[in-house]
Amino acid sequence: MNRSTKTRYAIFQILIEIFKKNKSFDVVFNQKIAEFNFNKNEISFINNVCLNSMRKSIHCKIILNKFIKTKLKANEFILLSSAIVQILYLNIKPYAVVNETVNVSKQIKVFPGFVNAILKNILKNIENLKKIELKLTDFPAWFVDEISKCENVDPYSFIDTFHKQPSLHLVFKSENCLDNFEEKHTRSSKKSAFLDIKKKISDIKNFNEGDWWVQDFSSMIPLAISNKIKNYNILDICAAPGGKAFQILSNNKVVLNDINNKRILKLKENLLRLRFDAEIKNLNALDFVEDKKYDIVLVDSPCSSIGTIRRHPEILFKTEKPNFVKLNEIQKNLLKKSSRLVKRKGKIIYMVCSFFHSETTKIIKQFLEENKNFSIRKYNQNTKLLNIKNLISKEGYFLTLPTKFKNYYIDGFFSVELIRND
């Protein structure tokens, strides 16, 4: 196999494993890359094609249905959609894509003549095929069901942008660090900015100085708009790899906890680079002793992660849906535990990178029904800090879909502050 065929073969292997075995992209990608001796450019190419093949997989399904009337096998669908993505959306020279795709088809026992014929048909229709628009019914049934339950959510705001590359957003340790930042950027607040260039994270200026960390605009908002968080004892029960905690570490005493050992190592690496110091625990939050109480408990709970669909496009690509029963159980249990760890007049900040009703408002309504000593402290819609008025609901929640904000693509996120009144 020549190198070019090898890269396409690796792309196929990564995608088929995610598709069939419901694995996460990062895990499969790192494993496969370690198996072959790829150079930097090849790795970046494989990464780009894989991510975009997953982002555009619904588009590809519609395109393939136009040319093929029989049901495609999984390996045919994966191989052809990665070729379509290279031709239609990544502007790679079509003849090279067709040649390499036919080469791979011979390795994976897909009939080369079939692949060649389909791709030739696609080449004749490139401009029309680029104009394809998705409808809600093109999405997996579980997704249609979940999004239909979300009040005041326009599904088309999601459908129109979920497949775009995410914008890179940095949060700075201080206003001074942002004032002195030399890369091309657009400010999103006094201490945060969207990056206007594409660069490897570790090559961005002042990475080693620890002046900033990567955190999406929407996931930065809850702690940025909260009443001044200063001089408090805080417990972050799901802390790794650390974005939310970094926003409050300089002004408070924060205990950082996470159940996952590997993520704790990443958290420690981040703390070292950012020159922050904090007490770290590696426990199941449900096992925390309840004798010590905190002013604030942060619950950045595990969830379907649908808000981060651009970074994790496998969520809609995998054959299995997220395990909502299990996730909702974890969300409820973490909230219940937090209610026992927070002081009187203290607060819980519940956050998820999801906009689905079952992981957001439903969990909160149920919690408030079972815990009459808690109530919502509404976020202030008139925050001067950020122009996000329509992202705060009348009930006081912060909620956004993965969408376009000004010229940037931001994640979906939900948060609410719950005050303990007794």
Ligand X SMILES: C[S@@+](CC[C@H](N)C(=O)[O-])C[C@H]1O[C@@H](n2cnc3c(N)ncnc32)[C@H](O)[C@@H]1O
Say whether residue 302 binds ligand X (CB under 6 A): yes
Q: Which residue has the tokens 């937090």?
A: 338
Number of residues counted as binding ligand X (CB under 6 A):
19
Say whether residue 17 binds ligand X (CB under 6 A): no
Question: Can you list the alpha helix ranges (DSSP code H) found in 22-135?
Answer: 25-35, 40-55, 57-67, 74-84, 94-107, 112-123, 126-130
In the stretch 228-267, what mask flags binding to ligand X with x, by CB under 6 A? ---------xxxxxxxx------------xxxx--x----
Decide whether 135 or 326 has the Cβ nearer to ligand X.
Answer: 326
Say whether residue 399 binds ligand X (CB under 6 A): no
In the stretch 330-349, what mask flags binding to ligand X with x, by CB under 6 A? x-------------------
Instruction: Report d(CA 335, CA 237) in Å as an integer.
Output: 10
Give the pair of three-digit tokens for residue 336: 């219940």
Q: Output the smallest distance, CB 184 to ligand X, in A.
A: 26
Say whether residue 300 binds ligand X (CB under 6 A): yes
In the bound complex, which residue of the shown chain has the CB atom lying closest to ligand X?
A: 238
Say whether residue 285 binds ligand X (CB under 6 A): yes
Q: Which of 53, 43, 119, 40 is nearest to 86 (CA)?
A: 53
| CA 287 to centroid of chain Cα atoms | 28
For residue 241, cis peptide bond before it (omega within 30 degrees of 0): yes
Q: Output the smallest distance, CB 217 to ligand X, in A.
A: 14
Q: Which residue has the tokens 């976020």?
A: 379
Q: Output the smallest distance, CB 409 to ligand X, in A.
A: 19
Give the pair of three-digit tokens for residue 143: 């997704």
Decide whether 243 or 346 has the Cβ nearer to ligand X.
Answer: 243
Helix (H) or strand (E) holding 19: helix 3-21
Taking residue 4's Cβ as centre, other Cβ atoms within 10 Å add up to 14
In the stretch 265-284, what mask flags binding to ligand X with x, by CB under 6 A? -------------------x
Residues in the site for ligand X, rule: CB under 6 A?
237-244, 257-260, 263, 284-286, 300, 302, 330
